[in-house]
Amino acid sequence: TAQDNTCKYDASQSVTSISSYVQTPSGDEIALQEAVQNVGPVSVCIDAGQGSFGSYGGGVYDEPRCDTWMANHAVTIVGFGSESGKDYWLVRNSWGTWWGE
């Protein structure tokens, strides 16, 4: 149950900090590519509700039923490329070594 309280933040316990950030317009893949290339990894939210996402084992993931309105899981884009004429994002997930490649 939520309750009012005091934040217990202790700056001396911090192990990292954010020095800057970039916000890209929603749906602008060119701006997202530029951010990844020029700034570094970018946090994004995706639709991970499809069974195919949970059982993904490798290769270019392509789920036609993905829904931009059902974004429910945060991942990090660390790169991008093209394979056999199909563009892709290189994504790091937080689910451990059993997921992906």
Please give the pLDDT value at position 26.
87
Whether residue 52 is contained in a domain is answered as yes
| Domain extent at residue 65 | 24-92
Number of domains in the chain: 1
Residue 28 lies in a domain: yes
- Averaged pLDDT in 10-residue chunks for the chain of 101 residues: 82 87 91 95 90 87 80 94 91 89 85
**Single pTM value for the model:** 0.77
pLDDT at res. 79? 97
Q: What is the CATH number of the domain that holds 39?
A: 3.90.70.10
Q: What count of Cα atoms within 13 Å lies in the side-chain half-sphere of residue 21?
A: 6
Give pLDDT, residue 43: 93
pLDDT at 100: 86
Q: What pLDDT is attached to residue 89?
A: 94
Residue 36 lies in a domain: yes
Strands (E), the chain: 42-46, 73-83, 86-92
User: Is the residue at 59 inside a domain?
Assistant: yes
